[in-house]
Amino acid sequence: MPTVAIVGRPNVGKSALFNRLAKRKIAIVHDQPGVTRDRISAPCLATTIPCTLIDTGGIGGTLEDGFAEAVTIEADIAMQTADLILFVVDAQSGLTPVDLDLGAKLRKAKPPVMLVVNKVDEEKHTKNADEFARLGFGEAVRVSAEHGKGMQFLTEKIDEFMKPIVGEIEQIVAEAEIAGIKLAIVGKPNAGKSSLANAILNDQRTIVSDIAGTTRDAIDLPCEFAGEKFTLIDTAGLRPRSKRDTSVEVFSAMRSERAVRRADLCILVVDLAAGISSQDRKIAQMVLEENKPCLIVLNKFDLYHPDAPKKARMEEATEHVKRELFFLSYAPFVAVSAKSGQAVDQVLKEVLKIRKGAKQVPSTGKLNRMLQEAFQINPPPTDKRSAKRVKLYYATAAVDEKYSTIPVPTFVLFVNDKSLMPQSYESYLSNRLREFNPVAGVPIVFSVRSRDRREWEKRDGPPGGARGGKKTDSPRGGPKGGKKKDGPPGGARGGKKK
């Protein structure tokens, strides 16, 4: 969705305006300057065209607690990423030197700027609003965010700005559909990323050199294979942050990281001949944190113990990958030689296999039965401080296929208290789920949510036992005096109750 950033000096009413447009009290509104320090975002519910609001901390104010510089940086980021900027000023205070300085800064901003004169509560404030014409942003929109005056006119003006932007976004979405499966080829410098892209395309589309850092930008390369469309995104090699010695290299790394976020699947290329390094592990960690499907390509396999038998070389390479990239265990791998073209066709074949498996999402019934069994085989540990344990009420898989041709489902677990779910038990459930639904290349993402027991009982009956039973918080998890032990605490909807 398009983004609207609300900026201005402290205490001009940005948060009040944010709440009005969001139709919810999200941002804290207070007379004290500097209350909002971070970027806060929320959907704009007041406009006809959907967009996202960003409320920023006050710019240019002198905050006593030393947050002024950080607030300015946060506002700068919002201005760089916004499609429209609402420059909010205070009609009651009048034009200030900080407004003039900020206006000069915003005139250089890339997105369009709409001047919003806030706190126009009385007729005398309307006269004060005229002096803001000196800022040079055309006719201002006059509102009173606190009392809701002028908000309809403001939302209509925002919709006018949003119409062409929405058209551009729709075009981007259409182009994304044409692009097919987007594959970001990532790795450290000189791992053979460009060579792999050229080998897949069977064409010298990118420059290949022994000099690390030849590729500076993320390059989109369309291709077809087995009747499917792909877009290969050849990225710059990612060096450690401490070794990025030029601004060009810093921006190249930023583009590579952005390519990872917009890709449907990441192809992690490692130089097998040199061995998997700490930088390879850091890049793999970045892919994992973005919850991206992944395929590992072991390049330069022809140089890896070349005198040994192929089978022994493959067994050794397998052990090496499992040991060094153990946290990325969901990612399958293929061994290739991009320079000679050996086994390169296996890369896209494996991608298609991953996409096929990703669409096989377990049904709600099967998912809940599997989790019931997992809880029975290995009950969750008891929290030492509260003497309680996590109880699962219900689970479901949420998939939004609009945003990726290779969907990554989020497994939503409704529990009594999500703070009682240790990371180790989440890992256990992840392993059990992968045994039950063995889909290679796709990460398992959990979203653990607390569900109020009284609300659950009202809708679905008591989660701990028979209707009307008295439930305790004992580790046994069943009705008081019952014999139910540590099986599925409450079970899935429709499951058997004892």
Spatial distance between the Cα atoms of 334 and 314, rounded to a whole number of angstroms: 10
Last residue of a domain, one of 310, 326, 358: 358
Same-domain pairing of 346 and 366: no
Spatial distance between the Cα atoms of 407 and 399, rounded to a whole number of angstroms: 7
- The values of phi and psi at residue 471, to 5°, are -105, 140
Q: 33-52 in b/e burial notation, b at 16+ Cβ within 10 A? A: bbebbebbbbebebbebebb
Spatial distance between the Cα atoms of 43 and 23, rounded to a whole number of angstroms: 9
- Is residue 439 very low, low, confident or very high in pLDDT (cuts 50, 70, 90)? confident
Cα of 335 vs its chain's centroid, Å: 30
Same-domain pairing of 233 and 333: yes
Least confident window among 137-141, 336-340, 461-465: 461-465
Cα of 442 vs its chain's centroid, Å: 16
Q: What Rg value do the Cα atoms of the chain yield, rounded?
A: 28
- Is residue 349 very low, low, confident or very high in pLDDT (cuts 50, 70, 90)? very high
Which CATH number belongs to the domain containing residue 468 in this structure?
A: 3.30.300.20
**pLDDT score for 375:** 92
Secondary element (H or E) of residue 151? helix 151-179
H-only helix segments in 378-473: 423-436, 453-460
The tally of domains found in the chain comes to 3
Same-domain pairing of 146 and 207: no
pLDDT, mean of residues 29-56 = 67
Q: Quick check: 498 pLDDT over 60?
A: no
Same-domain pairing of 338 and 437: no
Least confident window among 59-68, 272-281, 284-293, 337-346: 59-68
Same-domain pairing of 185 and 166: no
Last residue of a domain, one of 309, 330, 358: 358
Spatial distance between the Cα atoms of 258 and 292, rounded to a whole number of angstroms: 13
Cα of 319 vs its chain's centroid, Å: 32
Same-domain pairing of 454 and 484: yes
For residue 141, what are the β-bridge partners?
116
Least confident window among 90-94, 278-282, 479-483: 479-483
Last residue of a domain, one of 358, 388, 405: 358
Spatial distance between the Cα atoms of 212 and 189, rounded to a whole number of angstroms: 5
Spatial distance between the Cα atoms of 399 and 140, rounded to a whole number of angstroms: 43
Please write the tens of the pLDDT for every residue from 227-246.
888 989 888 666 665 554 44
H-only helix segments in 180-295: 193-201, 247-262, 278-289
Cβ-Cβ contacts under 8 Å for 29 (sequence gap 6 or more):
13, 15, 16, 19, 35
Cβ-Cβ contacts under 8 Å for 391 (sequence gap 6 or more):
415, 416, 463, 464, 477, 489, 490
Secondary element (H or E) of residue 117? strand 113-118
Same-domain pairing of 206 and 314: yes
**pLDDT score for 350:** 95
pLDDT, mean of residues 255-276 = 88
Same-domain pairing of 206 and 235: yes
Same-domain pairing of 156 and 250: no
Secondary element (H or E) of residue 22? helix 14-22
Q: Three-class SS string for 236-253?
A: CCCCCHHHCCCHHHHHHH
pTM score, two decimals?
0.55
Share of residues in the chain with pLDDT > 90 (%): 27
**pLDDT score for 496:** 43
Same-domain pairing of 9 and 147: yes
- Is residue 441 very low, low, confident or very high in pLDDT (cuts 50, 70, 90)? very high
Do 143 and 118 touch, CB atoms closer than 8 A?
Answer: yes
Which CATH number belongs to the domain containing residue 48 in this structure?
A: 3.40.50.300
Q: Quick check: 443 pLDDT over 50?
A: yes
Spatial distance between the Cα atoms of 273 and 302, rounded to a whole number of angstroms: 8
- Is residue 39 very low, low, confident or very high in pLDDT (cuts 50, 70, 90)? low
Spatial distance between the Cα atoms of 176 and 187, rounded to a whole number of angstroms: 24
Q: Quick check: 121 pLDDT over 90?
A: no
**pLDDT score for 454:** 53
Same-domain pairing of 474 and 350: no
**pLDDT score for 311:** 92
**pLDDT score for 298:** 95
Which residue type does 75 have? A
- The values of phi and psi at residue 75, to 5°, are -65, -40
pLDDT, mean of residues 81-99 = 87
Q: 296-332 in b/e burial notation, b at 16+ Cβ within 10 A? A: bbbbbbbebeeeeeeeebeeebeebbeebbeebebbe
- Is residue 248 very low, low, confident or very high in pLDDT (cuts 50, 70, 90)? very low
Q: Quick check: 480 pLDDT over 80?
A: no
Q: Quick check: 338 pLDDT over 50?
A: yes
In which domain, by residue range, is 130 found?
Answer: 3-173
Least confident window among 63-77, 253-267, 335-349: 63-77
DSSP string over 294-314: EEEEEE-GGGSSTTS-HHHHH
Q: 184-216 in b/e burial notation, b at 16+ Cβ within 10 A? A: bbbbbbbbbbbbbbbbbbeeeebebeeeebbbe
Same-domain pairing of 24 and 79: yes
